Amino acid sequence: MPEWALYTAGALCVLGSFFVLVAAIGVLRFNDLYMRMHAASKSGTLGSGLLLISLAVYSQQSEVVLRALAGVAFFLLTTPVSAHLLARAAYTVGYRPCELTKHDALSNRASD
């Protein structure tokens, strides 16, 4: 295995772990469901994607690379949609944003 692949995989792994840590801290520290969901969906997706790319660089096997890239594509396609649907469902059933929220785009709409 080339030395550049080890350093690249290690750097991607550390960077991905950092973003997963930031997502976990955001889930613990933010005030309401919407802020927590934002932290988990954005940073968690980026961190998971970087960890999968790190795996692909480290393994250098076409099967593993293909599966890792498919996993990254799956994360990128499903996480924002599911976060949006969960947030919309929470708002619909009555869970309102905290008082720190400056603009509530759904406040003037009738319950859908």
Q: What is the DSSP string of 20-82?
A: HHHHHHHHHH-SSHHHHHHHHHHHHHHHHHHHHHHHHHHH--HHHHHHHHHHHHHHHHHHHHH
Domain residues for the domain of 50 are 3-92
pTM, two decimals, is 0.84
The tens digit of pLDDT for each residue in 2-52 reads: 899 899 999 999 999 999 999 999 999 998 999 999 999 999 999 999 999
70: in domain: yes
pLDDT tier at 109 (50, 70, 90 boundaries)? low
13: in domain: yes
pLDDT at 111 over 60: no
97: in domain: no
Q: How many domains does the chain have?
A: 1
112: in domain: no
Give the mean model confidence (pLDDT) for residues 80-89. 91
